[in-house]
Structure 1
């Protein structure tokens, strides 16, 4: 899987996941234009990307492509807090 295929697939998976988990009573769905890649790397036959959406839900997504098995794993995370400590 090349980089373009990987990023396209990642955006589609995050789009589907986010839309599946939106509250239907909100009557809102996002599009692929609302999904963006924060970071991406390819090592040998494997790839990894961190993605987020324009939703203000604090979610971010880690997608990993296992080139040996031809599988993509999606981990969904929620940001609870961001603290700054002066040292």
Structure 2
């Protein structure tokens, strides 16, 4: 499941995220930062370690329909609240 998520993100990044002329990335550049499986469903949050701006990828697998969905988010800000 996690390897499938990594491959989905590597394929997506190679298609839409990399700079033209760069070498394609493999699954070794994709890191799963959170993973959860419940019954036949699973969800993973991932990042690609080569990006200059942090993009987060949310991969959700619906086991009932055997469909996998990907949402892509860009980190906008990080601040401390006291």
TM-score, scaled relative to structure 2: 0.88
Q: Deviations over 1:23-77 (max 9, x none)?
A: 205x243221101110101111110110111123210100011010001101111
1:65 matched to which residue of 2?
61
Supply the distance in 2 between the matched residues of 1:57 and 1:29 (Cα, whole angstroms). Answer: 18
Paired residue secondary structure (1:29): coil
**Structure 2 regions of 5+ residues with no counterpart?**
none
Paired residue secondary structure (1:30): coil
**Structure 1 regions of 5+ residues with no counterpart?**
1-5
Supply the distance in 2 between the matched residues of 1:9 and 1:57 (Cα, whole angstroms). Answer: 24
1:48 matched to which residue of 2?
43
Q: Structure 1 stretches (4+) deviating beyond 4 angstroms?
A: none
Larger radius of gyration, structure 1 or 2? 1
- The answer to whether structure 1 residue 82 and structure 2 residue 74 are counterparts is no
Give the aligned length.
Answer: 80
Supply the distance in 1 between the matched residues of 2:12 and 2:76 (Cα, whole angstroms). Answer: 19
2:25 matched to which residue of 1?
30
RMSD: 1.2
